[in-house]
Amino acid sequence: MAKIPLFEVSGSHREVGLQVGRLCQAQIGRMLAGLRADLPAGVSWEEMRYKSSAYLAHSRRVYPQYIEELQGMAEGAEVPFDDIFISMCEELWEPAAWRQGCTDMAARGRATADGSTLVAHTNDLLPESEENLVMLKVTAANEPTFLAISASGVGISAGFNAAGISLTGNQVDNNDIRPGVPRLMVVRATLAATRLGEAMDTCLLPERASSYNNVIADAHGEVYSLEGSATACEPIYIEADILAHANHYVHPAMVQFEADRNAIGGSVLRYNRALRLLRETPADLAALYLQDDRWYRVASLPFTREVLRRGGIPVDFTQQRAEQVSRERAARVREVIRELAAESKLEPVFESLSESDAVRLREFIGSRENIFVAPSFISTRPIFSMLSEMNCRIELVEAEEEQEGPAYTLP
């Protein structure tokens, strides 16, 4: 694959558009020629121009600054503005022309080697699209600078901005498409957001003509998959530090908006494969710490008191204190695991789960061959029967008492 060119532009929205149009004149010309050659059956370019006028009216009212940007592109590329705007209206080609597919994956915290947040996006375009790919670094007016990938310089596929907002997404075939602001215009506006909440509000624009599944994330590790259509949306929050999405609706409330449930086979395969890859760990050692739920049960009882060993003063034992005790114990075990792994030159992954989290326990243990080492008392706990049914060998050992013990007693 040839190196993708990077173009840096800045100025007002019209000035930015003018610069992009000049720099991407060849790519824009090829893109428009391809669209003209791939019109829906029985539809002319003039008819597309007429249909796009309704989308243009909505866009002028909601995003006049981005219409100016597109006008600048048209001037710079020396093509009619109407042609540029038609290229932003993917909805006019629905649904057959956009079945190439794309897949998004996100991981954070315990699912990444250093705890950072990672977002990945594939865009399965046709081979002839390769020569039109460009990277754009854009500073428009007072908006955050953003870096994005584009298949011509006009519409944006994925990007992130200087405010820490990341945007990727997946084509989903909505059955409620209507005249409104094209989804590619919404993508452009989302990259101007300075906060995750602002990005989410932009994706949920009431006047949208349709919607992608928009995957948005911020620098704090918050990740959402906004499964949308023209008239509905369901936010899906990252779970167990991983998230994946392809080109079909997965939220039960959104399935009704799928244009054709018989055309999603490839998307289902990619979605499940992505989840499987995210759940698998390349670590040499997988350590599972089972949180002791008894602390939370004790804290829920009335009049439970904690007596500090130093001072002997009884204080309320709250849910917050139970959470603190659980975190402290998990941290001590995590440190021991890291030290042992370092001595053996192993790369560890550490998971702290509640006994009640049966789904994640099955995912963590059942997806790999394991030797599960546990204190002997676990054989009396309900979780032992579940572990016995899973693909792991259980070794019970006698647990040693802590040297100092916790600094509290529960009467």
150 shares its domain with 294: no
Indicate whether 26 and 166 sit together in one domain: yes
Supply the pLDDT for residue 127: 81
In a domain, 378, yes or no: yes
Question: Rounded to whole angstroms, how far apart are CA atoms 61 and 81?
Answer: 17
User: Cα(first)–Cα(last) distance of the chain, in Å?
Assistant: 69
Give residue 65's domain range. 6-279
d(CA 11, CA 186): 21
Asked whether residue 117 is domain-assigned, the answer is: yes
- Integer Cα distance of 337 and 321 in angstroms: 24
Quote the pLDDT of residue 229.
96
* 216 lies in the same domain as 321: no
Tell me, yes or no, whether 247 and 324 share the same domain: no
Is the same domain home to 307 and 223? Answer: no
Predicted local distance difference test score (pLDDT) of residue 177: 95
* 147 plus 240 within the same structural domain: yes
The last residue of one of the domains, among 250, 279, 308, is 279
- Residue 135 counted as domain residue: yes
CB 90 within 8 A of CB 98: yes
Instruction: Please indicate, yes or no, whether residues 267 and 298 belong to a single structural domain of this protein.
Output: no
Amino acid sitting at position 73: M
pTM equals: 0.71
Residue type for 81, please?
A: F
Sheet with 242-245, strands from edge to edge, namely: 118-123, 102-107, 242-245
Q: What is residue 116's DSSP assignment?
A: -
Q: Sheet with 314-316: list strands edge to edge.
A: 314-316, 305-308, 408-409
Residues 131, 240 within the same domain = yes
| Listed residues 258, 279, 300: the one ending a domain | 279
Domain's final residue, options 279, 304, 321: 279
Domain count along the chain: 2
Domain-located, residue 116: yes
Say if residue 233 is in the same domain as residue 337. Answer: no
Domain presence at residue 218: yes
CATH of the domain at 76: 3.60.60.30
Per-residue pLDDT of the chain (411 residues; tens, 9 = 90+): 678 999 999 999 999 999 999 999 999 999 999 999 989 888 999 999 999 999 999 999 999 999 999 999 999 999 999 999 999 999 998 754 445 579 999 999 878 878 899 999 998 887 888 899 999 999 999 999 999 999 999 999 999 999 999 999 899 999 999 999 999 999 999 999 999 999 999 999 999 999 999 999 999 999 999 999 999 999 999 988 899 999 999 999 999 999 988 889 999 999 999 988 888 765 556 666 766 677 677 777 776 666 665 556 677 777 777 777 777 877 787 787 778 777 777 766 666 766 666 666 666 655 554 556 566 666 777 767 766 776 666 666 665 544 444 443 333
Task: Assess whether 43 and 158 both reside in one domain.
Answer: yes
Please give the pLDDT value at position 283. Answer: 56
Distance CA(339)–CA(318), nearest Å, equals 32
Q: Are residues 296 and 251 in the same domain?
A: no
Q: Are residues 165 and 203 in the same domain?
A: yes
**pLDDT in the model for residue 212:** 95
